[in-house]
Amino acid sequence: MFSHAPDILPVRLTKGMSVSELVRAMGSTSFEARNVYQGAALFKRMIDDGDTIWLGIAGAGIAGGMGGMVISLLEAGFIDVICSTGAQVYHDLHFAFGLPVKAIGPRWDDNKLREHGDTRIYDIGIRERETLEVQDQIIRRFIKESYDILSKHPLSSWEFNYHLGDWTVRTARFPERSFTATAARLGVPIFWDSLSNHSIAMNLVRTDREGFPLEISAQRDIFDSAAIVYSAGASGFVMLGGGGPKNFIQQTGPTVSQILGVEFEGADRGLQIGTAVEREGSLSGCTFSESVTWGKYRSADVEKLVQIWGEYSVIFPIVTAYVLDQCKERKPKRIDSKMSKFIKKLEGAL
């Protein structure tokens, strides 16, 4: 029954080989190494075939310096929509405004760190006063300076993040270090998976009470994201970790078909990089194969749905380097400028 399968032969590595050559060599081996190649090749097909590509960002990768890789993909035209935790957007702005974030060791007396005003995310060191409190002040300044435009109507999170990114482009010392600013410049919407579970929303609580109340609508987020998947052609999902961003992205198809009652078969392709397992339910939003039963994807095709088991700070740089090397740059689709058209299309189908 295996006669049709390729032979496995010992793979040799050579001095000076490129990342693309290494990834292809990994594809000739087994286990997660082969999955890395299959995932990288799938991402390449999404790009080459013109998919509208979503990036989901969970965990703390942005605080740990991985935002530059997201910026590289954005500037190449390889990412069209993002769903991030609000915490990632918050920490992303540290780099734009030159607030210190330090590379530290993971072993500390955390009681002493607290006494000294230091916080940490494993091996990422952040000062409470010099970084977090200053960042809070910046968020509140943005809201007050942009209040006229932010308060016109209930906002979706992508609208809030667009204005935040655009304001960062104009006011920050290093806007080129921010994926939020880059996304705004290139017309890439950034959704939050949650409207309340992060420091930006915590600061909104204060500005509300200082006379600058804002309304951000979860319902608008759900409808607008579903409108993109319904209207923007073939969709490819690339997800770093699981959690809220993965579920938010994958619920777009069921929102259209199950909730709104509009015929729709789900996304075309998906790639997830993460360490969760399915046995106790932590593989957020279920396995890819299970996802098909929920209408999240069109079919359980192993060439269109790839799960790489691994910590994404290791895998994502390899996959990113591979597609940057292998794919021609694409013009930005500027989804944010097409949102009103996409929304009308889905509304017209109801």
Q: Residues for the chain: how many in total?
A: 350
In whole angstroms, give the CA distance from residue 318 to residue 23. 8
Tokens of 45: 């097909």
Contact, 19 vs 325, CB < 8 A?
yes
CA–CA distance, 196 with 214 (Å, rounded to integer): 13
Instruction: From 101, 148, 158, select the one nearest 334 (Cα to Cα).
Output: 158
Residues 6+ away with beta carbon under 8 Å from 279: none
Q: Helix 218-231 vs helix 157-171: angle between axes, to the nearest 10 degrees?
A: 90
Single out the catalytic residue among 44, 246, 296, 333: 296
Measure Cα distances from 335 to 50, 91, 236 in Å: 14, 24, 15
Whether the CB-CB separation of 177 and 165 falls below 8 Å is answered with no
Query: CB count, 10 Å around CB of 337?
Result: 10
Instruction: Examine the residue annotation and report whether 296 is marked as an active-site residue of this protein.
Output: yes
Rounded CA separation 217/349 (Å): 22
Q: Which residue is associated with the tokens 């009470």?
A: 209
The angle that helices 31-48 and 19-27 make with each other, rounded to 10 degrees, is: 120
- Mind telling me the catalytic residues? 296
